[in-house]
Structure 1
Amino acid sequence: LEAIGHETQPPARFTEASLVKMLESEGIGRPSTYASIIGTITDERKGYAQLVGNTLVPTFTAFAVVDLLEKHFPDIVDLKFTSKMEQTLDDIATGEVDWLPYLKEFYLGNDGLETQVKERDSNIDPKEARTIHLEDLDTKIRISRTGAYIESENGNINLPKDMPPADLNPEQVEVLLKGPKQLGTHPETGEPIYVKLGPYGHYLQLGDKTDENPKPKNVSIPPKVKPEAVTLDMAVRLLSLPRTLGVHPDTGRKIQAAIGRFGPYIVHDLGKDEEGKAAKDYRSIKAPDDVTTITLDRALELFAEPKAVRGKRGTATPIRELGAHPSDGEPVNIYNGPYGAYIKHGKVNASIPEGHTVEDIPMDVAVQALEAKAGTKKATKGKKTTTTAKKTTAKKTSTKTATKTTAKKTTTKAAAAKKSTGTSKRVKTND
């Protein structure tokens, strides 16, 4: 007998592009709605998923929401249900299906959304709905307004906001339940110094929390420093933050060095702006500079450098140039987008038709795709013009058209919500 090794790995997580590809294969969403679906999933206020690099990583909140929907509203997260709804919405948009009977059935039917909510709401236990059960973990994890936490006999232990459920294992839970590690005592105050874990990562705390000292001083541990690598000397230096480095020679106002949620930084107090609000100028501190040793002269050098504009992008470079458009001579190029390659001519963007690739698509096929896309936009504009004309013709027709338009928007919005929820389900499955 020969022993054959076999390793199993969990399915790869979705990227934005692979998620859109999956949605297309399931018939969910349309090119015009993919961006809003991704936006809903990654919205920090909702907290369903985090973008780590280009990977979508589900959060504890996503697990709780999907579990609730699967138990009590399974249709809402059923891919076939959502796909069928998409097709019906398309038929309503083309006039093949009447919107009013569909909406009545959807909301007010025997098994409509209103009926489902009324019947099942009383069966939902709020505490259980906020509880997550993970494989190989006996610990109870609950969701609160401030994030996920472990429930224990000695109190609740917050989990870092950037910690995905897949990274929480029994060993980590055991460390968390043991409580904060004491590094030693501060040489000047004699107070204990602890390494603790909060919603935004590990941090240092000086002293114990008491009635006389309800808010002990704390400071974040720099992102690139492992908690176990923090020494007592380093902790004392970090707890000295924020440090006042001196005053700016031009403004006479103080410059400080500190650590925040996103790492170490220096800040220049600029006083009040024209609206009377506090104005400050920030710069990140990057290696080899150290927040605990940076000098005033070095800080002035950093402030003298041009400030980087977050999120600023340069002009996109085409991955292939097809040539001049036969009708106006303007360039027709192919670019890489967040959801794959696309053809661009002026302000019109079109997807590469099936059966063609970036390398082999000819100019005539690209022109046809652009004309089809432009024709769709013109048809949409034509509908708006017709609606306006109807409003001018008769008051009754105007009211009817307005009602119809509003209903369509409501239906689309409801569909978008369902698509987002359905997507969360897939994110959970691929975790």
Structure 2
Amino acid sequence: MDPHPPETDVAAQLIAVAEALLAQAQLFIAGLLRPWNAYQIGIAIAVFLAAHLIAATVRPRMHEWMRTREGWPKWRLRLLVMMHRRIRMIVFVALMWAIVWIMRELTWPSRSYILGIVAELATAWLAIAFATRLIVNPLVRSLVRYGAWAWVTLSILNLTEDAQAALDSVAISFGEMRLSLWILVQAIVMLALLIAAARFVATASAARIRRNDDISPSMQVLAVKVLQMLFYGAAFFLALKLVGVDLTGLAVLSGAIGVGLGFGLQKVVSNLVSGIIILLDKSIKPGDVISLGETFGWINSLGARYVSITTRDGKEYLIPNEDLITGQVVNWSHSNDFVRLDIFFGTAYGDDPHLVRRIAIEAASKTERVLTSRMPVCHIVGFGDSSVDYILRFWISDPTGGLTNIRGNVYLALWDAFKEHDISIPFPQREVRVLEGSQLGTKALD
């Protein structure tokens, strides 16, 4: 049995690194307590307070001036907003460099050494803050910003080699593979940069694919998903390769994990495969109007795991892809947007059926959204107990506008037309007769 398990070694390494950093911090603080160094720190604090007061005075006026800049390009307005948010740091950097230049002209360079470091740090931090605003993803932007701030600070203070040695001393070994904090930091930085680059390339490629009218919407979604998987996967493995991680062991480990996930995540894998099948066979696509069980609506987007469907009442349903493959789906706009609707009604036996059919067709044709290129038709479907039964069929080309509302409008048009031509719509009526000689009839005569 190993008398020194990896956990104990890592803890001891962390304690040693912490003690070394504490000793260096004590030496640094002791150096700051020297008269001229303390004097420079006081100057830096005073400059920061002055920058704060100036920013508090300038910021409201700058905001009012920005509100009057109508018609400016969007990039210029965004730059002004960034400057408005960081006006204090901008003023601080300008004042610090002015103080450093004056002190280097009037006194020894050593008397402004710390001020020069503070000015360099503030300038680098300000430049990084402006540069990272170009990154859209908030998480990636934060990682890149704080990582760049840490690296620039160590570089200006000439502590990069010490920090690298300290991080590299904390490591764990897995057979022949050695994983240290330094490798982990490098991997995170490289991964963040490569993912940002992959996101930019994927977004640009997706925009070009969506502008291509020769590609169907479902194939556009499939192409975008495949490109995203390829770019992000390549970024991940390339980042690991650049920092020196052996991918052979990772391949074996990923194979074992894949077998375990195959048993534990069968539904997830099934939805992923179903999503690919849906995109390939083009059975549904964004914008289609479908019915699945009691759900009726149009498709917003096709995801890797689910399909987003919005109904007429504003609800958004996330339907798993597997349900669309195994269930019965009615696609109202699969091959075209034409949809035929049927409504049933009845009239009294005393009304002329030829007139009823003609009036019903004319009423439906005058209803908004009903197509006249495909004329409505009306047929007798039976002789009921109290009415002659008809079916009225008409076509629409915009199922996304709703089906219930257009049926209601046609029924209303039939009501108005029948009322205008004195055509009656029968309804059940019951007549009660009292027979002579019955007890109830005798009481009524008395």
- The alignment's TM-score, normalised by the length of structure 2, stands at 0.22
Q: Which has the higher helix share?
A: 2
Q: Which has the higher strand share?
A: 1
Instruction: Flag the structure with more relative contact order, 1 or 2, with Cα contacts below 8 A and sequence separation at least 6.
Output: 1
Q: Highest Rg: 1 or 2?
A: 2
